[in-house]
Structure 1
Amino acid sequence: METKPLPHDAVLIVNAQSRRGEAHFKEAKERLEQSGVRLTAAHAVKNPNHIAQAVRAAVASGAPMVIVGGGDGSLSGTVDELVGKDCVFAVLPLGTANSFARTLGLPLELKGAVDAIAHGRRRRIDLGMIDSDYFVNAASMGLSPMIGDTVPHKLKRYLGRVGYLLWAVKCSFGFRAFRLVIDDGVRERRMWSTEVRILNGPFHGGVELSDEAAVDTGEIVVQAIVGRSHMRLAWDWYAKFFRLRDRNVHTEEFRGQSFRLSTQPPQRISIDGEVLARTPATAKIAGGAIEVAVPAED
């Protein structure tokens, strides 16, 4: 079935605190307009807490497309405003890892991302959920939330993924494994774990972590690093970063529509890079929840 073309009218909202947001706001605005996108409004938001409010106002005004520039946290914090609305969600990847953009096959440079918005197509995708909170790409518990909650903003902004890596080494010294229970409503699985990823797409932290997760399967993927060893967790990230043949040797994956996750001790949950929940929690899929702009050849 042929889908409707992407709208030519849009509202641009950029997180000016994201790694590249402030520097690229003016260029993004100019490139979009030169490519034929008519911006009915454009906002460089300096307080990240106000981005969702700006998106909500844009959707309420009847904007057929909202373009959000920022990192994965900015996107996840705004996507709730588009669920159930006749409004296309378009992405300018201006963050550190840009995992959601990678999942959608978007170019990571500004020119290519603008071209996808101006000349691409619509794609209906799933969203993940932690309890009632929607997310675009991935949630996690274990070491990742500790890193995301404490990493200095300047380290992340100027060193990017290298900054995350350096901070991860520091955080690992005070981290302990936890007992994990995964319940799909039929069966419980119990194990020790050092990290759990709840994936709507294959990327997390800019690294492709799963061969099974995708944004249009109607299922959520729960991936656990099994065991109590820090070395296993470090090897898992290393092996997946370099896509080694035995990269999944220390992980177990579970696919389904809903899982109840509990831990001992309780763990904080990072949702697309922002620590917003804690266990116990329910991870589930919201099938076909929104439409996004993707490259025409995707």
Structure 2
Amino acid sequence: MRTKQQLTDDIRSERRAALVVNARSRRGRQFYDDAHARLQAAGFKLLGSYGVEGDLERSLQRAIDLGPDLLVAGGGDGTISTAGRMLAHRDMALGLLPLGTTNNFARTIGIPPDLDTAITTMTDGLVIDVDLGIAGDMPFTNHVGVGLSAEVMINAPSRLKRAIGRFAYPITALGLLRRHRPLRATVHAEGREIVFTTHQVYVANGGFHAGRPITADAHADDRLLVAYPVGGATRRELLRETARNALTGHRRTLHERPFLAVGELWLETDRPAAVEVDGEPCGRTPLRIALDANALRIMAPPGTEDH
């Protein structure tokens, strides 16, 4: 395994890369050819290039088997999470092309949803290590959602997401909320038991959710998971807290209620509740969620601190 500096130097000098873009994502199909051309113009030798509309994991494995120093993955948080899971503990860096709806993990790393900035990060950035979360047996990059958000991910129409982007999620949520019953959730962590009644629970590894900061001090390499309910038992509380999170997350800290920052937790609910992991359905509660520290190498913007 090379050091991070050695891998950074090899990426900058050798430019050996592979490209995998989820062409089913809203922007993936539109920008695949552009990303391919820009990487080549930047001097990268693309050992393989895949615009995927079928089996994403199969294409990612093909790209990994080519042995690039940098695997560039384009798509939304689900695509990035899949690539991150497959690159865990490998001597290979993940490059991010944020082509999805909310691009939470890319925002956490400091890469805005802009192709020019993403390509510049590949050419001028540096390799850092970040943590992966583990939900049950499923590694993830950004977050776990329990309750309403999982129902939204299962039910949000693909056509609506392609048409209006991330606004498809709140529209779907409003439709589901009329018949959604609150959960009695219990979190066991560090010898404590915390109980709350809510429609929605999140456990975040990254610093963003729905394209907005969770808190000002949440990162992907701080060795912490951040668990928090969104509102209480009533629908009004859920809507109020969702709006508050979106508007004030950049001013809040992990030390404030209702955030619980820990390295591992056990989450159970009064009835089996749907779970989504980085936007993909992933079973039901109860669930153990933990961290795999420094599990993934990421190409980050110049000057990024590696905690």
Bucket of the pairwise TM-score, normalised by the shorter protein: over 0.9
Q: Report whether the alignment pairs 1:83 with 2:85.
A: no
Residues 111-260 of structure 1: pairs in structure 2 closer than 5 A: 111-243=116-248, 252-260=258-266
* Partner Cα separation in structure 2 for residue 37 and residue 274 of structure 1: 31
For the Cα contact (< 8 Å) 1:224–1:251, is it kept in 2?
no
SS at match of 1:84: coil
Q: Aligned with 2:258: secondary structure?
A: strand
Counterpart position of 1:41: 48
Q: CA deviation at 1:61?
A: 2.7
Amino acid at match of 1:268: A
Q: Which string of whole-angstrom CA distances, capped at 9 and with x for unpartnered residues, describes residues 200-248 of structure 1?
A: 1121121222334211111111112352011111112212222279979
Q: Is the 8 A contact 1:226 1:252 kept in 2?
A: no
Structure 1 residues 251 and 19: alpha-carbon distance in aligned structure 2, compared to 1, 3 A threshold: farther
Scaled by the length of structure 1, the TM-score of the pair is 0.94
Compute the displacement of 1:277 (Å).
2.4
1:98 is matched with which residue? 103
Structure 2: distance between partners of 1:20 and 1:76: 17
Structure 1 segments of 4 or more deviating over 4 A?
244-248
Partners in 2 of 1:145 and 1:101 — Cα distance? 21
Instruction: Measure the CA separation in 2 of the matches of 1:295 and 1:196.
Output: 31
Matched residues in 1 for 2:250 and 2:108: separation? 21
Contact 1:239 1:246 (C-alpha < 8 Å) held by counterparts = no
Q: Is the 8 A contact 1:239 1:247 kept in 2?
A: no
The counterpart of 1:72, out of the listed 69, 77, 82, is: 77
Taking the aligned partners of 2:224 and 2:20, their CA distance within structure 1 comes to 30
Distance 1:191 1:2, change over 3 A: closer
Are 1:225 and 1:251, in contact at CA under 8 Å, matched by a contact in 2? no
1:276-287 alignment runs, 5 A limit: 276-287=282-293
* Residue deviations 1:163-222 (CA, integer Å, cap 9, x gap): 222112111111111111101151211221221111011211212223342111111111
Are the equivalent residues in 2 in contact too, given 1:191–1:226 (CA < 8 A)? Answer: no
Residue 271 of structure 1 is aligned with which of 267, 277, 293?
277
Unaligned runs of 5+ in 1: none
Q: Is this contact kept in 1: 2:215–2:252, CA < 8 A?
A: no
Greater CA drift, 278-287 or 224-233: 224-233
Superposition TM-score, scaled by structure 2 size: 0.91
Counterpart of 1:10? 17
SS in 1 for 2:269: strand
Residue 36 (structure 2) pairs with residue 29 (structure 1): yes
Q: Kindly indicate whether the alpha-carbon contact (under 8 Å) linking 2:147 and 2:273 is maintained by their aligned counterparts in 1.
A: yes
Partner in structure 2 of residue 289 of structure 1: 295
Separation in structure 1 between the aligned mates of residue 251 and residue 41 of structure 2, nearest angstrom: 47
Kept after mapping to 2: 8 A contact 1:226/1:251: no
Deviations 1:223-278 (A, max 9, x none): 12352011111112212222279979x95111111101000111111100111121
Query: CA RMSD for the aligned pairs?
Result: 1.9
Structure 2 CA distance for partners of 1:199 and 1:234, relative to 1, 3 Å: same
**Percentage of pairs with the same residue:** 28
Q: How many residues align?
A: 295
Q: Is the 8 A contact 2:213 2:249 kept in 1?
A: no
> Which whole-Å CA distance do the structure 2 matches of 1:139 and 1:133 have between them?
10
How far residue 83 of structure 1 moved from its aligned partner, in angstroms, is: 1.0
Q: CA deviation at 1:158?
A: 1.2
Code of the residue aligned with 1:59 in structure 2: it is I
- Is contact 2:230-2:242 (8 Å) kept? no
